[in-house]
Structure 1
């Protein structure tokens, strides 16, 4: 298995389906910077769902739209 720095993605690491998906992406040879970008995005989405009280597996388009809106409202780094 391709190594993933799970410490960077603690919420993702605890979510079985998300963890399996990211590990699969790494195992099929996605570049490490791609894995990092995917990991950061999924980590952010899982945290958003937790705050909203939404099961990420059942999240619909309304939740995804709210997440995107939340990201757009954040200050730029």
Structure 2
């Protein structure tokens, strides 16, 4: 579900569905940095920049892949 939510966000289609899907995944594994990163990206694509920033910071705290998170947090900061 994580990959599909990410795919939807990249295609910028069904973003509400993508957010719902990744939100459900996060409930199962709330400290998974990869899932948090996807959740932040979906929020970013939906224009929820402050929420996205909060979530991406959680992903960083949970040991996500630094360069991936750096790219995403940079995009969020540039738009915010």
TM-score (norm 2): 0.31
Larger radius of gyration: 1
